[in-house]
Amino acid sequence: FVPGADTQENVNALKEFTKQWQESGQAPKSESKRLNDAFYNKLEEFYGTIAGSEEEKQLIKFKLKIERFEASADGLDMLSKENDYVRKQINDIQHHLNTYENNMGNFKSSSKTKSPFIIEMENKIAAEKALVEEWKKKQKLVKAAMDKMSKPQQTAG
């Protein structure tokens, strides 16, 4: 695969490679992890060359991680652990955000002008809010993958 000028064509080609990989069936257990890791590492490398912003690259990497979990024999457990991790990240950031906002309330009430400190705190609050939204996007991806993986098990039983 050699990436071309059209980003969407590149993405579609990589998605098709992923689809073919997932449809190819399970490799022998002794080789499965090694082969999956090699495939997804190479895929991640290709996506990195065609992605635009750093945020886009990070989201693509996360989606590939989820796809790797889905292709794994113990994927649902891995997704569950990832969901717990993502939820913890959101809670930690939310805790910091609440602290910043509480502190801001105290500083704003005691200050008549907008000091550099208040401006810096407002920027931190905005950055933390953006980070929470980024993690919430990731959480939706994990939950969707978990739903997708758990449905076949429900109909089989």
Best-predicted range by mean pLDDT (29-43, 53-67, 96-110, 119-133) = 119-133
**Tens digits of residue pLDDT in 131-150:** 999 999 999 999 999 998 88
What is the DSSP track for 79-90? HHHHHHHHHHHH
CA pair distance 153, 132, nearest whole angstrom: 32
Joined tokens for residue 123: 């920027």
Query: Distances from the Cα of 23 to the Cαs of 16, 17, 20, 142, in angstroms?
Result: 10, 10, 5, 21
Rounded to two decimals, the pTM is 0.71
Nearest to 97 by CA among 77, 119, 122, 75: 122
**Tens digits of residue pLDDT in 69-124:** 887 778 899 999 999 999 999 999 999 999 988 888 777 667 677 778 788 888 99
